[in-house]
Amino acid sequence: ARAALLRFATSVDGEAPTTDAAWREEALRRWGDLVGGGGGETRDWETYVTSRLSTPPPPSPLDLLQEYYAADQWQLLCCCVLMSRCSSWDTKHRCISGFFEAYPTPSAFLEKVVKGEDAASCKEIVHSLGLFDDRLKGIIGITQAFLL
């Protein structure tokens, strides 16, 4: 995951998209079918994608947990919500890794947890962190705002 910090965010073929349609496909590939509100409305997809890409700092020698998720703004924001008020690196790493395995994109999270009304499966993954209701509320808010 730390290697992702060193890559410029490009499309699958390694090049930056050149058309609006290609930028939309890039948004769909990265964040799922609900990007842009899910309606596919007309928008500047290049601005949409580039405004959501992070510019991670160089990797530190400290192996900070945040660095594992710094290449994706949505993951980094969710990571911050999940990490707060918990001191065990192992617990945080296990729970956050499990969260992103279950919900790799913001669309996947909303579809499964919110639309699918399956907060129980999310709670099972991150219960060791405590404060589940507050964490879930924060992640839902971040995710909905991110996808707009």
CATH code of the domain in which 30 resides:
1.10.340
pLDDT at 139 > cutoff 60: yes
Q: CA-CA distance, 141 to 148, in Å (whole number)? A: 11
Residue 109 reports pLDDT greater than 90: yes
Q: How far apart are CA 19 and CA 44, in angstroms?
A: 10
For residue 5, the enclosing domain spans 1-148
d(CA 140, CA 26): 23
Q: How many domains would you assign to the chain? A: 1
pLDDT at 78 over 90: yes
Share the mean pLDDT of the chain.
86
pLDDT score of 38:
64
Instruction: Check whether 83 has a pLDDT greater than 70.
Output: yes
Radius of gyration from C-alpha coordinates of the chain: 16
